[in-house]
Amino acid sequence: MERNEKYSNSTFETASGSYSKDMAYKRAERRLKELKGFYWHLFWYLVVNAVIIVSSVVVNAEFFNLWSFNTFSTAIFWGIGLGVHALGVFGKNLVFSKNWENRQIQKFMDNDKKRWE
């Protein structure tokens, strides 16, 4: 089944404006691409850091200190980047979500109502 057959470009009017199935499909496709990008990033983070740590142990077996900064520096700094990537993908509205905005608006309206009563 072609994409155009399954998701026709029909537009619906809603209270917030028009809604297009094609636009929804493109948003879902973009979201999937973001998720795949993050999971590939995580996969390579795990593989590369495992190789670095294992090779450090094998090469420097007699003088190796597992808990030195050099052993984990790549994992630490790359992990910071991975964490930022995760926030970009999963935490777009983690702190200031629509629910938070609605609660704050309601709180401000309640405060104003109390002040004018």
Nearest to 68 by CA among 83, 56, 50: 56
Handedness of CA 95, 96, 101, 107 (dihedral sign): positive
Kindly report, residue by residue over 9-47, the tens digit of the pLDDT.
455 555 555 668 888 889 889 999 999 999 999 999 999
pTM higher than the cut 0.75: no
Name beta bridge partners: 17. Answer: 14
CB 11 within 8 A of CB 18: yes
- Residue 17, φ and ψ in degrees, nearest 5: 130, -160
